[in-house]
Amino acid sequence: MSANLFRTTAMVAAVGVAAPAMADTTLTILHFNDFHSRIEPINAFDSTCSAEDDAAGECFGGIARMATALNELRADAVNPVVVAAGDIFQGSLMYTTFKGDVEIEMMNAIGLDVLALGNHEFDDGPANLHRTLQMAEFPVISGNLDLSQSPDLTDMDVDDYVILEIGGAQVGFIGSLTTDTVEIASPGPNIIFQDEIDAMQGDVDDLAAQGVDIIIAVTHNGYVLDQEIAASVTGLDAIIGGHSNTLLGQMEGAMGPYPTMVANPDGVMVPVVQAYAYSKYVGELVLNFDDEGNLVEAGGTPVLLDAAFAPDPDIAARVAEFAEPIAEEMAVVVGESTGPIEGDRSFCRAVECEMGNLVADAMLDRVRDQGIQIAIQNGGGLRASIDEGEVTMGEVLTVLPFQNTLATFQLTGEGVIEALENGVSQVEEGAGRFPQVAGLRFTWDPAAEPGSRIVSAEVDMDGEWTAIDPAATYGVVSNNYMRGGGDGYATFTQAANAYDFGPGLEQVVADYISANSPYEPYTDGRISEAE
- Give the model's pLDDT for residue 23: 52
- Assign 52 a pLDDT band (cuts: 50, 70, 90): confident
Q: Which residues pair with 465 in a beta bridge?
A: 460
Q: What is the number of other CB atoms lying within 10 angstroms of the CB of residue 250? A: 9
Using the 8-state DSSP alphabet, how is residue 235 labeled?
S
pLDDT band at residue 496 under the 50/70/90 scheme = very high
The mean pLDDT value of the chain amounts to 92
The 3-state secondary structure of 277-336, one letter per residue:
CCCCEEEEEEEEECCCCCEEEEEEEEEECCCCCCCCHHHHHHHHHHHHHHHHHHHCEEEE
Beta strand residue intervals within 63-207, DSSP E: 80-84, 114-116, 140-141, 145-146, 161-166, 169-177, 192-193
Out of 11-15, 43-47, 59-63, least confident range? 11-15
Q: If you average pLDDT over residues 473-486, what whole number do you get?
A: 93
The pLDDT value recorded for residue 18 is 37
84-135: pLDDT as tens digits: 999 999 888 899 899 999 999 999 999 999 999 999 999 999 999 999 999 9
Using CB atoms within 10 Å of the CB of residue 155, give its burial: 0 to 12 exposed, 13 to 18 middle, 19+ buried. middle
Q: What percent of the chain has pLDDT over 70?
A: 96
Cα(475)–Cα(473) distance, integer angstroms: 7
CA dist 353 and 395 (Å) reads: 17
Taking the C-alpha atoms of residue 23 and residue 43, their distance in angstroms, rounded to an integer, is: 44
Flag whether pLDDT at 8 surpasses 50: no
- The Cα–Cα gap between 447 and 334 comes to 42
Structure confidence by residue, pLDDT tens digits, 243-273:
999 999 999 989 999 999 999 999 999 999 9
Which tens digits make up the pLDDT trace of 408-430? Answer: 999 999 999 999 999 999 999 99
Answer for the pair 245, 34: CB distance below 8 angstroms, yes or no: yes
Note whether 151 and 188 are within 8 A (CB): no
pLDDT, average across residues 299-316: 97
Distance CA 251, CA 241 (A): 19
Residue 15 has pLDDT above 90, yes or no: no
Please state, in angstroms and rounded to a whole number, the distance separating the CA atoms of residues 79 and 276.
23
Neighbour-count burial of 24, counting CB atoms closer than 10 A to its CB (0-12 exposed, 13-18 middle, 19+ buried): exposed
Give whole-number Cα distances, 474 to 169, 372, 379, 408, 495, in Å: 63, 7, 22, 11, 10
**Cα torsion angle, 181, 182, 187, 191, sign:** positive
* β-bridge mates for residue 169, sequence order: 166
Answer yes or no: is pLDDT of 12 > 80: no
Q: Give the HSE-up count for residue 290: Cα atoms under 13 Å, Cβ half-sphere.
A: 4
Contact predicate 121/133, CB 8 Å: no
**Is the CB of residue 336 less than 8 Å from the CB of residue 391?**
yes
pTM above 0.75, yes or no: yes
* Res. 3: pLDDT tops 90: no
Band (pLDDT 50/70/90 cuts) for residue 17 is: very low
Mean pLDDT of the 213-227 span: 97
CA pair distance 279, 508, nearest whole angstrom: 28
Among residues 197, 208, 199, the alpha carbon closest in space to that of 230 is found at 197
